[in-house]
Amino acid sequence: MKNQWPVTSVQVLKEIYAIYDEAMEPIQGVCQKKCSSCCTCNVTLTSLETGFLMAAMSLPEKKVLQDRLMDHFPSKRYLPKMTTNRFARLCREGKEIPEEENDPAWGKCPLLVDDLCSIYDVRPFGCRALMSQVSCRQKGYAQVPPIVLTLNNLFLQYIEHMDQTGLFGNLSDMVTLFLSDTPLHHLSDYCRQTRDERFLLNEKISVLVVPPEHRETVRPVLEKLSCLV
Ligand code: SF4
Ligand code: SF4
């Protein structure tokens, strides 16, 4: 990788993760170490989150990551057709929402090693946001309180907003792109020029998706997030 992601953006993302951890503190889940049914090859993230995890890695660690992706690259994986902010905008404009295909049966995340995340401390928000109040393995589904769904969406919107000149895509594709020689300050140009459908252009927030019954609860979180962007 030729460039580093701007230190200020990485620092702000760290602060966003800290605000999320604080907001989630009172919410009890049953998630445990080595419980990894939710670690599928369908995780998505922004270029900012990809930069965050790359910035924390040494060259030898990046080489290990590259080898791992080469050996375990998922041929079938979720390729998003819209970003979170685009989805919110399309809903507000009453436009058609593209159909998406996403199946956990397509396989495990290539960065999962012996049921542990190999990049745990710098994992993307999509992974931090996964929680359940019942054992997914036993029940076959996750039970997520509605307030967590609202918070997750809010944080996804702010992270994308923070990275509004960047890209969004599947974890395997984004990390592979970052490990290549594509100059990071030209990511959007790369996406426009190549029309590579694996990557989407991020958008700024045009409307926040917060159900009326959660507006009071999320107000303090929103105030903290607004100070950062
Ligand atoms: S979300 Fe489900 S699979 Fe993932 S750690 Fe929690 S209980 Fe386990
Ligand atoms: S990056 Fe880590 S936490 Fe996220 S899905 Fe992969 S193994 Fe799980």
What pLDDT, on a 0 to 100 scale, did the predictor assign at position 70? 95
Residue 40 CA: nearest ligand 2 atom is 5
Ligand 2 atom showing the smallest separation from residue 130 Cα: 3
Distance 133 CA to ligand 1 centre (A): 9
CA 6 to chain centre: 18
| Ligand sitting nearest the alpha carbon of 109 | 2
Per-residue buried b or exposed e for 193-209, using 16+ beta carbons within 10 Å of the residue's own CB: eeeeebbbebbebeebb
Rounded to whole angstroms, how far apart are CA atoms 11 and 176? 23
Q: Which ligand is nearest to the CA of 175?
A: 2
Give the ligand with the smallest distance to the CA of 143.
1
* Ligand 1 geometric centre to CA of 128 (Å): 11
Strand-pairing partners, residue 113, are: 116
pLDDT, the chain, mean: 93
pLDDT at 1 over 90: no
**Residue 4: pLDDT band by 50, 70, 90 thresholds?**
low
pLDDT digits (tens, 9 = 90+) for 176-219: 999 987 776 677 777 778 888 999 999 999 999 999 999 999 99
What spacing in Å lies between the alpha carbon of 123 and ligand 2's midpoint?
6
The runs of H, that is alpha helices, within 56-185 are 59-72, 84-92, 125-128, 136-139, 146-162, 171-179
Which pTM was predicted? 0.94
Instruction: Please write the tens of the pLDDT for every residue from 58-77.
Output: 999 999 999 999 999 999 99
- Residues with beta carbon inside 6 Å of ligand 2? 39, 43, 109, 111-112, 117, 119, 123, 127
Which alpha helices (DSSP H) does the chain contain, by range? 7-24, 47-55, 59-72, 84-92, 125-128, 136-139, 146-162, 171-179, 187-194, 215-228
Q: How far apart are CA 63 and CA 61, in angstroms?
A: 5
Query: Bridge-partner residues for 169, per DSSP?
Result: 45, 199
